[in-house]
Chains A and B, each alone.
Chain A
């Protein structure tokens, strides 16, 4: 594997997770529990899709075969997507969405904070720009975790179940392979072990504040690095890619 091949894959991992979570959040548009929350979630969706655009465009530039951000978003199948398994989880009820977003945002927060020091100028610039958005995503979701956990007995039970059900998918966030090792030697990628420690302390701190129980780390579902996904990604792509698939290269 060459450095460029590794860098393309690394950029797709970031871009794909942003894109898929952004698409998930867009499903809340017009379905939010309150008007204010509807707009907040749609804002987060737009932030994430913006971040995805930068990373997918960058992957195309390094590849040098003329593939655009749209080619990456609309013309790849499930087994070519490198998003986290967490990001493709269905929205469920509001608490499910809050739990998923909190776990993924806490990851991005520590990931981008470390990526700012990357020797790759583009990744470093992307991290510097995105950290502001992600800091807000983390604040927004963490405040909701605390309110739902510390709310009524019903809200507490629901959000605890949300965390229990989604916990199998957090291990996938920290998996590494030769791409990580190659880029870490070059000072380009981040040390996932360090991210995991920081993520753990953020998650434990917020769950404790919310009066919730951190689920035990048991068997973890993985697959992100091999582009192996749950059954949900195919359905998400079917909706997201419908227009491109039905009317290839349609123009406004």
Chain B
């Protein structure tokens, strides 16, 4: 994501859902001056090859992102807490999809 402002309108982040029930995934961004145009541009750029069944567009300035300098305090503490993964249980025989 970038905060660069140019003459092509605001930046909108695009999230595409590939199938009903699946989460919307970030696909990229588009320029547009309003939400309807953002939706149309996203449709033209990111769903031309059957990629999606639903699109979200979100104004870039509405997204709150953690900062690179936060990553130590945010993410490192989980490095040594292996017990948070359910890997210490004995799986019953024949159980699938776990």
A residues sitting closer than 8 Å to B (CB atoms) are 34-37, 39-40, 43, 136, 139-140, 143, 147
Contact present for B33 and A36 (CB under 8 Å): no
Which chain A residues lie closer than 8 Å to B45 at the CB level?
36, 39
Q: Which residues of A contact B43 (CB under 8 A)?
A: 136
Select one of B31, B34, B36, B48 contacting A36, CB under 8 A. Answer: B31
Q: Given A34-B8, A34-B9, A34-B31, are A40 and B41 also a contact pair (CB < 8 Å)? A: yes
B54 within 8 A of A: no
Write the nearest CB–CB distance from B11 to chain A, whole angstroms.
11
With A36-B41, A43-B48 known, 12 other A-B pairs at CB within 8 A are A34-B31, A35-B8, A35-B31, A36-B8, A36-B30, A36-B32, A36-B44, A43-B44, A136-B43, A139-B40, A140-B40, A143-B37
Closest to A151 in B: B33
- Which residues on the A side are within 8 Å of B41 (C-beta)? 36-37, 40
Q: How many residues of B contact A (CB 8 A)?
A: 15
* Cα distance, A35 to B8, chains bound together (Å): 9
7 contacts between A and B (CB under 8 A): A34-B8, A34-B31, A35-B8, A39-B45, A140-B40, A147-B33, A147-B37
Question: A39 contacts which chain B residues (CB < 8 A)?
Answer: 44-45
Give the chain B neighbours of A35 by CB distance below 8 A: 8, 31
Chain B residues lying within 8 Å of A143, measured Cβ to Cβ, are: 36-37, 40
Which chain B residues border A139 with CB–CB below 8 Å? 40
Residue of A with least CB distance to B8? A34
- Contact flags B5-23 to A (C-beta < 8 A → 1, else 0): 0001100000000000000
Q: How far is B31's CA from A104's CA once the two chains are assembled, in angstroms?
A: 27
* Smallest CB gap from A46: residue in B: B48
A140 to chain B: closest residue by CB: B40
Q: Which residue of B lies closest to A146 (CB)?
A: B36
Q: Please, which residues of chain A bring their CB within 8 A of the CB of B31?
A: 34-36
Q: Which residues of B contact A136 (CB under 8 A)?
A: 43
Interface residues of B in 23-78 (CB under 8 A from A): 30-34, 36-37, 40-41, 43-45, 48
- B39 CB to closest chain A CB (Å) equals 10
CB of B57 to closest CB in A, whole Å: 12
**List of B residues within 8 angstroms of A34 by Cβ:** 8-9, 31
Q: Provide the bound-state CA to CA distance between A34 and B48, in Å.
A: 18
User: Which residues of chain B come closer than 8 Å to A40, judged between CB atoms?
Assistant: 40-41, 44
- Complex Cα distance, B44 from A140, in Å, reads 10
Q: Which residues of A contact B33 (CB under 8 A)?
A: 147
| A147 to B40 Cα, complex, angstroms | 14
Nearest opposing residue in chain B for A38, CB measure: B44
The docked-state distance in angstroms from the alpha carbon of A143 to that of B41 is 12
Q: How far is the CA of A8 from the CA of B30 in the complex (A)?
A: 43
Output the residue of A34, A35, A40 with the most chain B CB within 10 A.
A34
- Chain A residues near B36 (CB-CB < 8 A): 143
6 nearest A-B pairs in the assembled complex, by CB-CB distance: A36-B41, A40-B44, A34-B8, A39-B44, A36-B30, A43-B44
Q: Which residues on A sit within 8 Å (CB–CB) of B9?
A: 34
Least CB separation from B48: chain A residue: A43
Q: Cα distance A139–B39 when bound, in Å?
A: 12
